[in-house]
Amino acid sequence: MSIAFLFPGQGSQTPGMLHALPNHPAVGRTLDEVSECLGADVRELDSEVALQSSVSVQLALLASGVSMARVLVEEGIKPEAVAGLSVGAFAAAVQCGVISLSDSVRLVKRRAEMMVQLYPTGYGLAAIVGLTERQVSRLVEEAHTEQAPVYVGNINSPRQIVIAGSDEGMTRVLDAARKSGARKAERLRVSVPSHCPLLEPVAIALRESLAKLHLQPPGQVYVGNVSARILRTPETIAEDLATNIAHGVRWYDTVTVLEELGCRLFLEMPPGHVLSELVKESIPGVTAQALGESSLNHALRLAARYSIPS
C-alpha cells in the first residue's frame, strides 16, 4: 500500500488558511521562501479581503500545499505519487522535484494575473451534481453562443461536473440542469473561467516561460490534469502545467489511476476537503484525509500505517 499527496485548486481557499498551518519549522521556511520570491509577505494574502483576488488565492494555495507536503516529508512521510487540481498541479510538481518553488511562485503569479486581466468580471465556474458528463455536455452545447460562451470544464466524478464561461452562459446551463433533475447546480468561488478555451492565451504564455526553465525528472509518480495519465518526463509535466488552464481536468480519471497504482491513502493538503470527499465518493475502500481538518499528529499516525519502508 502507498500514499498519494493531493493538492487542491482555486475554490478551496479559506480566510486564515496560511495562519492555520501547523507550527512547524518547514512551514516557516517555506512561507519565508515564497515571501522572498514575491518581495512581500505571503502571509498577508490569506485575509478575507486579499482572497477576493485570484492572484492572492492561487499564490496562497501554492504556499499552503507545498508547506504541508514538506512538513510530512520532514516527518518521514513520503508519497508514492502526487496530483494537483488546476493550480494545485504546480505544488505537486514542486513536491516531486520537477520545478523549484521560486520558479513556481513566479509562474503562478503570472498565470493568475493574466487570467484576471483577460476576464476581470462576468465570468467564472459553476458545479453541477447529479447529471452525467454526457447530459451536461448536451446542455452546454444548447446554451453556448459566441456572445455568451460556456464550456464543460472539470470532470470531478461521474456525476459532478464543473462548467466554465460567461455568467450568462452558465446561468442558462444551471437553469437547464435544475430542470433536468440535478441535485445541485450553483456557482463556485472562482471569478475566472478556468479550464476552457477562453484561457488559451495564458496557456501559450506559460508554455513559453516553462520552456526557458531547467526542469528535473519527477522523483515520484506525477499524474497529469489534462490526460489523467502518468507523466514521466519534465517536458510532458511542463505541458500539463501550461495547458491545464485551457482544458478540462479529468480529476475522476486521475484519482482512478492513482488507485490502480496501489495508492490506498490519499492525503489532501490544506485548505479544504473537496478532493478527499471526491476520493471517498469515487473509490470505496481507500482512505482519504483532508489535512486541513485534522491535527498533524493524527495525520502522521494515519500516514505511518500506509508508508512503504524505504
Domain ranges of the chain: 2-118+197-304, 123-187
pLDDT per residue of the chain (310 residues) written in tens, 0 to 9: 599 999 999 989 999 999 999 999 999 999 999 999 999 999 999 999 999 999 999 999 999 999 999 999 999 999 999 999 999 999 999 999 999 999 999 999 999 999 999 999 999 999 999 999 999 999 999 999 999 999 999 999 999 999 999 999 999 999 999 999 999 999 998 989 999 999 999 999 999 999 999 999 999 999 999 999 999 999 999 999 999 999 999 999 999 999 999 999 999 999 999 999 999 998 989 999 999 998 899 989 988 888 755 4
- Model pTM greater than 0.75? yes
What pLDDT is stored for residue 310 in this prediction? 46
Burial class (CB in 10 A: 0-12, 13-18, 19+), 63: buried
Candidates 67, 144, 194, 195; catalytic one: 195
* Residue 11 near residue 87, CB atoms below 8 Å: no
Beta strands in the chain (DSSP E): 2-7, 81-84, 123-129, 150-157, 160-166, 184-187, 221-223, 230-231, 263-268, 287-290
The number of C-alpha atoms within 13 Å of 211 and in the hemisphere containing its C-beta is 7
123-187 matches 2-118+197-304 in CATH topology: no
* Residue 247 designated active-site: no
SS3 for 130? coil
Tell me the CATH class for 2-118+197-304.
alpha beta
What pLDDT is stored for residue 304 in this prediction? 86
What pLDDT is stored for residue 135 in this prediction? 98
The rounded distance, in Å, linking the Cα atoms of 29 and 220 is 22
Candidates 54, 64, 86, 276; catalytic one: 86
* Residue 153 near residue 163, CB atoms below 8 Å: yes
The fold adopted by the segment(s) 123-187 is Alpha-Beta Plaits (3.30.70)
The rounded distance, in Å, linking the Cα atoms of 61 and 48 is 14
* Residue 100 near residue 144, CB atoms below 8 Å: no
SS3 for 277? helix
Cis peptide leading into residue 270 (ω within 30°)? no
What pLDDT is stored for residue 1 in this prediction? 56
* Residue 86 designated active-site: yes
SS3 for 6? strand
SS3 for 156? strand
